Structures are given as structure tokens and as C-alpha cells.
Chain A
Amino acid sequence: MTNDTVTGIARTAGRRGFSPARGRVPARRRPISARLLDGALTLPALAIYIVLMVVPVGYAVYYSFTTYNGIPSQSPTWVGLDNYRRIFEDPANEMHSSVMVTATIAIVGSLLVNAIALGLALLLQRKSRFNSFGRAVMFYPHVLSALIVGFLWQALLGPQGAINALMETMMGSRLPFLSDPTWALWTLIGVIVWAQFGVQLVLYIAGLQAVSVDLLEAARIDGASRFQVFRHVTWPALASTVTVTIITSVLSLLKAYDVVLGLTNGGPGGATQTWAYEILAVSFPNNKVGLASAQAVLLIIAAGILSFSIIAMRRKAESGSEAVG
């Protein structure tokens, strides 16, 4: 291609509104009716979202300021902040402990889920027949219903479960997996981690496949050790994946309910009652829809604050990853 030809193309492009200096084509202004029509294409999805999400949440917020038993023929009574006051004052000493249990599960659980998922992703990232089998096996627990997972592990870890029976036969002693409050909480976290890490594993494997092979190769040629390659190339490049996996795991663990139901049913002595359990298994069955709604609203707010905090904290790491990627 000669210089003349290039100049000719540039001139033609300039006439069509392409400015080589600016390097982009400004969008041609479309008629307002066409743009309104484009916006209208979102209406069906928006309608479903509003009816199924916005309206119920709006009702929940309204009910949280009332005393209401959930029966349509009986009207809610406005009580202002009474439900919230009950939660914060916690006269029966039941809700604050649920918050602590939920926070422990969310923080420790998400750290473990992500650490295990990332470690296994690093092991299983190369494509091979064994690794494909390994990925399927690792993902399998997530396919099971959380309630089934709870019952399954209860059968294994209960005082007369398979594991304790085996231990008693071999060592003459048992472990209080589900009968001691502290053990029960850590057992619950372990079971939740086992059931959850499959999804994060898939996300990490996808993230690892997006890491630049050239950069990894260059680092190795420069004499970097495996740890240094991970520390300075792989980890920064995974920043956006890490943000997503942390947020999704924290949000998922904040809602822990069905595993609790199947494994410990909140016991022993309420030691493993989570916030979601408090809402769904305590307040709702007792027809305290107003109180349950206030608890749910606080859960939504907590989830929102945590999500945005994680995003804010990860922003710096992600901007660094762009430089690497």
C-alpha cells in the first residue's frame, strides 16, 4: 500500500466523519422516537423485575414498620421503629448471637471457600483427562440441594453417625461434631465450605485461563520462582475474579439457612442459629411478619454495605491488574 493510497483512505474517512486525530467515530444522533423505542425493549424485563423484586421488597420495608401476622384478612398496625428497636435491644438475647454466628460464617467461610477454590484451581488449571474428572468431582457438592447436604453430613457426623461409629471402633472415642456449640459451628462452616467451593473453583479456573501466557513465560525466563510468578503475575491478573468470588461467596454465606436446617437445626441450644434461620424458622412461623421483615431489611442493608465495601477495597487491586493484564 503506497502513501498516496493511505492519504486517500484517510481523506475519505474524514469526509465520513472519521477523524484520524480523535481516532473514533462519533455516534450519529438517531431520532428520539427510535431511541425511545430502543429503551422500550427493556420494558418486559423491567416489568418482571418490578413485580417480582421491587414490589415485594417495598412491601417488606413497609411491613418492617408494622406489627403484622401475615394474614391477608388482618391489617398491619403501624409501630414505627419498634421492630428495629427490638432487634437492637435484643431483650431475649437471641438476635445478637445470630448476628455473630452469621458474621463468623460469612467471614471465615468466604476466606476458606476462596482459599480452597483458588488452591484447587491452580492444581486443576491445566487441561487433562484427570483434571476434567477432578473439576467435575469438585463441583458435584454444589449440585446437591443444601438441605440434602445438611442431612447427609448429619448422618456422617452425628453422635451415632458413620464417622463417630468408625472412630469409636478404631480409637474408642468420639468427637462432638454436632453436640458441642463450638464444634457444631465449625462443623457447620466446614460443611458449608464443602458445599460452596465448587462454583468459586469454576470462576477461578476461568480467571486463570485469562492470565497472559506471554507474561507467565517472560517471568519464568527472567528466573522467577513459582511463588514469585503467582505473587507478581497470576494474583494481580486475577484481581477482578477475586472481587467477584469474594462478593458472591459472602452474599451466599450471609443467607445460610437450609444447610443449618439440615445439619443442626440451629442447635445445640441455638448455637448455630443464623440470621436467615432467625427470620425463616423463628419469626415467620410465629406469625411475626413485621419483625421478620425488619430482620430481612437489615440483612439486605448489611449485604449492600459489605458488597460496596469489598468493591471499594478491591478497586486499587483491580486497577493494578489492568496494568498486568
Chain B
Amino acid sequence: MSANMRRRIGWITIATASALALTACAPTASDEQPSTDGEVGGEIRMLVNITDNLTQDKWEALVAPFEEETGVKVKIEGPTGQSVAESFPTLLAAGTAPDVIQSVFPTTDTAPEILDLTDFDWAAETPMADTYATDGKINVVGVGMQAQSVLYYNKDLFAAAGITETPKTWDEFDAALEALAASGVKTPIAFAGDWATGVQTQQIWHPQQNVTTPHWQSAVADGDSSLSEQFEPLFEHLSDWIDAGYTTADDVATDSGTHEANFIAGNVGIYPMGSWFSTTLAGTPPEFEVGVFSPPVDDATAYPGPMGATMASPYMIWKGSKNLSSAAALVEYLVTDEDAIATAATMDDFSRPGLDVSTNEYAGLVQQLIDDAPSLAVPGNQTVGDDALPVAGFNPKFTELAQTLWQGTSAADVAANLDAWFEAERTE
């Protein structure tokens, strides 16, 4: 073999080895941080929801006291996809899951990858921990409870329309919408696009649905009820409002941020949204007086119905974390430290026994609704606990199908499509 040929073979070998090394050396979670298990220290990654309220700076400010006290470096990461719900499974599949995950709940698929927190004394004391427990095991904890079934309304527009009392029944609600439209309100009730359509339409239905069928998710899962039976009456109400022009197709093609701005500008009569909207209102107080009321029910004697409620700012720990001690310490700090809870409450409204809401008048109004509610009910998108639907992706599908009501699809057809989807997913 000539010297030239030997040289070429050498170069080819080096180039091939380099290429293979380059393609095989993607960093993994274990590469990125030293294992400090057993002692609190090092660096941990936390995947969080980033929104207008929950900014990167606010998250960093929230964990700063913990970092200072423990020496742990907390790396805040936003979702790589549309949302944390979309990003977390992807990161899990890639082997680069963060140590702490905020804003989502375990699913049937992800639950085995989540650390069991049952043995931590502080976990059982956190709000709604038992509601979200799976087979008695706690694997997600939160800072409080967020009310879902809240109808924010413009008191000036109500007064101008001659509405003296907030509606308690569906008939009264229809009459209120009619009065608002007759008085010239362009948007008597605002339903927004994207995720909001599904969330808002469910929010307005939680009390009635849970009066009719308490623990309806279990009834659907057991075959005692169906999604069409549960939601067709809601779809009929929505269809009537669409036909009457109280809400239009343009509404569900407009994002929730724009609708919130419309409400604050005084162009919307009623805006269904969770308690977190009170933070937006406090940040940009409208010139009119805002009121809140619970969604209607069939029978006035059953008013107010159960309040739709979710765990606020849920946190989970990835079981595969190389720094479980620090991850657990961080989550404990976030859900039990009074200052951390108070800071979190300024970022996104929630309620918790002992939490001072006097600084936000709108949060105070929502708190009153929660206090008046006979019970709390979990919404349809819950994926763990006793009241969970046995399918993934309920909210996005519900949103997609609900939006077709604004495109002229009948309530019966939308309900049938929801059943067809449920059956298809269930047999997956």
C-alpha cells in the first residue's frame, strides 16, 4: 500500500469517526448536569407556561429567593411547541425532560414518568392534592385553586339595557342577552378563538352539567352517559345565540387577548373566563364597573351550581431527574412558602385559604363566587384523578367541534361527532 493511499485511508477513518461522533453526541439531561442527588445544589430545569401574565422575568423573580437560599440554579424554560402540554411529551421522548414541569397534569401516558410525592408531608397539605391524586397517590401539587365558571360583565351596559339583576336561569340569561343586543351592544357575549372556544363554552356549562350529572366524567367513562348527552343541551344554547347574532363567527376567529381588550374597552356585555382574567383586569382597570356572576342553571332554586375549578399552577417532578432533591425542594418552596405563594398570586389569580386578595378588587369578586358555590367540580379536560375522561386531547377536539357551531353545523351533529371521536380514541 502506497504512503498516499495510507494517508487517504487515515483521513477517511477520521472523517467517518467524526461524522458518527457528531451525529451521536446530542446532549441528554444526564450530560447537562452533574448528579447531586441526596443533597440540594447544582442546576435544575423547570418548564413553565409563558403568557402575557406569566413572563420569563416574573418566573425568574419567583424562584430567585429559593436560588439565593439554597444555591440551586433554576433554569426557566418556556415551551418549545405551542404549549407545555405539547412540549413535555416531546422532551420526554427525546430523553431531555426538565426536572420540574409546571402547568400540566400527568396523563395516563406520562404518569409513570412522574415522581410520586405521597411520602412528602407537605404534598398532602397543598390545595386540591386529593382531587388530583391517582389511586391515592399524589404526583401533582399546586399553589391554589382557580375558579373556571366565572362570567365577567359590564355593569354599565347591563344598566343601559335595563337588566337590574344578574340572570340565574337559562331563560333569564337569554333575556339578558336579548336586552343587551336590543340596547345596541355589538357583542352581548364574547367567545374567543383557539383554545378559548372550548374552555369558555365548557366554563359556562360546568354548573348546569354538574347539577344534572355530578361526576359526569365517570358516568361517561362507565358508559352510563355519553358526551353527546352531556353537551348537546349546551350546543343548543350556543346555536340559539349564534342564530340570534349574540356571538358571531368573527368572534371565534379572534384570539382571547383581543377579546379581553374588547371587554376592557367596554364593547362586550358578558365575558366567560377563568379567575386568572381578574389579574388582567387589575393590571388594566376598565373605566366601567365590572361585576361577576355564576353561570345559569335550569332551576333557580339550584343556583348557583357547582363551580368549575382546577388546581392552580400545578407542578410535577420528572422521575428521571438527576437532581431529585433539588427539584423536590424547589416544588416544596413554590407550593408552601408564603412569600412565593403571594408572588405567584400577583402573576396569575387563584384562591387559597389565608391568601390575601384585598389588593385585587376583581379577585375579591371571584373569591365571593367561590365562597357562594355549593361545591367544586373539575372540568372535562382533567386527565388524572377520579373524574378523568379515559381519552387524551379532549379540550382541543371539543374546541374544534364547538367552533363548527359557528359555521352552521347543528347541535345534534356536533354532539354526534363528539361521540364518534370519543369512541375512536377510546379504542386506540
Contacts and interface: CB of A to CB of B under 8 A. Distances in A.
A282 interface: yes
Given A93-B420, A266-B400, A267-B194, A288 B428 contact: yes
B346 interface: no
Contacts of A51: 20, 23-24
Nearest to A42: B12
Given A92-B425, A268-B407, A269-B406, A33 B20 contact: no
Contacts of B3: none
Contacts, number: 147
B85 interface: yes
A44 interface: yes
Interface in B221-275: 248-255, 258
A44 B15 CA distance: 6
B-side binding surface: helix, strand, loop or mixed?
A: helix
B16 interface: yes
Given A37-B8, A267-B403, A268-B407, A179 B250 contact: yes
B54 interface: no
A70 B24 CA distance: 19
A92 B391 CA distance: 13
Contacts of B23: 47-48, 51-52
A72 B82 CA distance: 22
B62 interface: no
A71 B252 contact: no
Nearest to B399: A267
Interface string A174-210: 1010111100100000000000000000000000000
B252 A74 contact: no
Given A37-B5, A284-B90, A92 B417 contact: yes
A160 interface: yes
Contacts of A265: 193-194
A246 interface: no
B254 A74 contact: no
B392 A287 contact: yes
Contact of B396 (A181, A268, A282): A282
A261 B396 CA distance: 14
B107 A287 contact: yes
A40 B9 contact: yes
A270 B403 contact: yes
B254 A158 contact: yes
Nearest to A83: B428
Given A47-B19, A284-B89, A71 B423 contact: no
Which of A73, A94, A179 has the most chain B CB within a 10 Å cutoff?
A179
Which of A43, A266, A285 has the most chain B CB within a 10 Å cutoff?
A285
Nearest to B193: A267
Contact of A287 (B1, B22, B89, B404): B89
A276 to B, nearest CB: 14
Interface in A263-321: 265-271, 273, 281-282, 284-289, 291
B81 A285 contact: yes
A281 B110 contact: no
A261 B86 CA distance: 13
Interface in A30-61: 33-34, 37, 40-41, 43-45, 47-48, 51-52
A1 to B, nearest CB: 40
Contacts of B254: 158-160
A-side binding surface: helix, strand, loop or mixed?
A: loop
Interface residues of A, number: 52
A181 B400 CA distance: 12
Contacts of A37: 5, 8-9, 12
A86 interface: yes
B428 A73 contact: no
A270 B194 CA distance: 10
A287 B110 contact: yes
B332 interface: no
A67 interface: yes
A282 B190 CA distance: 26
Given A47-B19, A67-B428, A70-B93, A267 B252 contact: yes
A72 B319 CA distance: 13
Contact of A267 (B18, B86, B400): B400
Contacts of B255: 158
A91 interface: yes
Contact of A269 (B22, B113, B401, B428): B401
A51 B251 CA distance: 48
B253 A72 contact: no
Contacts of B182: none
A245 interface: no
A286 B253 contact: no
A285 B253 contact: no
A44 B21 CA distance: 11
Interface in B112-151: 112-113
Which of B254, B258, B400 has the most chain A CB within a 10 Å cutoff?
B400
A229 B86 CA distance: 55
A205 B249 CA distance: 43
Given A44-B18, A267-B403, A270-B404, A287 B249 contact: no
Given A52-B23, A92-B421, A158-B253, A74 B112 contact: yes
A178 B393 contact: no
A69 interface: yes
B95 interface: yes
B282 interface: no
Interface in B382-428: 392-393, 396, 400-401, 403-404, 406-407, 409, 417, 420-421, 423-425, 428
B300 interface: no
A289 B89 CA distance: 10
A298 to B, nearest CB: 17
A174 B250 contact: yes
Given A70-B92, A92-B425, A33 B5 contact: yes
A168 to B, nearest CB: 11
B353 to A, nearest CB: 35
Contacts of A41: 8, 12
A74 B108 CA distance: 12
A286 B395 CA distance: 11
Q: Sorted from nearest, which 4 A-B pairs have the closest CB atoms?
A: A179-B253, A159-B250, A269-B404, A70-B93
Interface of B: 1, 5, 8-9, 12, 15-16, 18-20, 22-24, 81-82, 85-86, 89-90, 92-93, 95, 107, 109-110, 112-113, 193-194, 248-255, 258, 320, 392-393, 396, 400-401, 403-404, 406-407, 409, 417, 420-421, 423-425, 428
Given A43-B12, A70-B93, 11 more contacts: A33-B5, A73-B113, A74-B109, A158-B253, A265-B194, A267-B252, A267-B253, A268-B253, A268-B407, A281-B86, A287-B89
12 contacts: A43-B16, A44-B18, A47-B20, A47-B23, A48-B23, A158-B258, A181-B407, A268-B249, A268-B406, A269-B407, A285-B86, A285-B396
